Copies of this chain bind each other. A is one copy, B any other.
């Protein structure tokens, strides 16, 4: 083995979610070498989840035919408020018992490699910004639409996380004060109007009310294992009911985009997450049109609204970017 090959020149990104852990190994150029996936099993408690993260990192490293000593750093995104400086997860609502967890310290002990922790949406925004947009725009906002809706802000070329590390909670922007109830306790949040959870609820309520949809042909009356991709299939086969619900969600995302343009006036807005990945062709047109309708005159000049091509890998790519930046 040559000396060069044992140099720590690789980076691992980890996306810690409520249901799964995704890890990926990247070259310095951000070229992806391998990924590994494990279920989170958050109900087992905090310690077991941290062990699973370490295992997932090791799996990805092994999959790339590398060893941990060749990894310069690990960047991990956690679903909640994170104190980057100390590497502590302050609070993660979808992970049982995650309150003030020193994730950086615990993982460094297990892996023997420098670990850096960020909020998951911040990390995904960073991944899109650096790997996809080559850090060119001065200001970028990432909107990630999945089970929930989150966001990440890049201002003046840097991640912006605010006073207590909670900036970018775009999903809880109220758009309709008298709208449907949100998981956060308020009404009419973007997440309650346009997340996968909201869209699925609207579809199920519609079916109960007697709406006809191809989804019941595809999946049975209970829609057991409904996924965003099924909505795409139904729409492409002419399902007007699903088409309308998805278009309504896109319209709300467009209004939220306009609000963000009015408040922050970024150069680029990037849409990502599972729902956008599955339904970009169906949603982006409506989002762009609505955003232009609702933004102030002049504020949309030169502003781009695009769908990310990184899909599910935005987070792990951002983790590698973070690790590369911090170990430079």
Listed in ascending order, the chain A residues whose CB lies under 8 Å from chain B are 81, 90-91, 93, 137-139, 151, 153, 155-156, 160-170, 172-179, 184, 186, 252, 255, 258-260, 262-267, 293-294, 296-299, 301-303
Would you give 23 A-B contacts (Cβ < 8 Å), ordered by A? A81-B298, A153-B263, A155-B155, A156-B156, A162-B265, A162-B299, A163-B266, A163-B267, A165-B265, A166-B262, A167-B263, A169-B296, A170-B263, A172-B262, A172-B296, A173-B263, A174-B175, A174-B258, A174-B259, A176-B178, A177-B179, A186-B294, A260-B263
Contact partners of A90 in chain B: CB under 8 A: 298
Contact partners of A297 in chain B: CB under 8 A: 91, 93, 184
Shortest distance between the CB of A243 and any CB in chain B (Å): 20
| B266 touching A169, Cβ below 8 Å | no
Interface SS, A side: loop
Contact partners of A176 in chain B: CB under 8 A: 175-178
| A163 touching B175, Cβ below 8 Å | no
Shortest distance between the CB of A99 and any CB in chain B (Å): 10
Shortest distance between the CB of A157 and any CB in chain B (Å): 12
| A166 touching B259, Cβ below 8 Å | no
Contact partners of A165 in chain B: CB under 8 A: 265
Say yes or no: A91-B298 contact (C-beta < 8 A), given A138-B163, A155-B160, A293-B186.
yes
Contact partners of A255 in chain B: CB under 8 A: 174, 177
Contact partners of A184 in chain B: CB under 8 A: 296-297
A321 to B267 alpha-carbon distance, docked (Å): 28
A175 to B176 alpha-carbon distance, docked (Å): 6
| A177 touching B175, Cβ below 8 Å | yes
Residue of B91, B167, B259, B267 near A265 (CB, 8 A) is B167
A259 to B176 alpha-carbon distance, docked (Å): 12
A160 to B158 alpha-carbon distance, docked (Å): 13
Shortest distance between the CB of A276 and any CB in chain B (Å): 19
| A162 touching B296, Cβ below 8 Å | no
Nearest-CB residue, chain B, relative to A161: B265
Say yes or no: A166-B293 contact (C-beta < 8 A), given A175-B177, A176-B176.
no
Residue of B173, B299, B303 near A169 (CB, 8 A) is B299
A48 to B181 alpha-carbon distance, docked (Å): 54
| B81 touching A163, Cβ below 8 Å | no
Say yes or no: A265-B296 contact (C-beta < 8 A), given A160-B155, A173-B259, A259-B173.
no
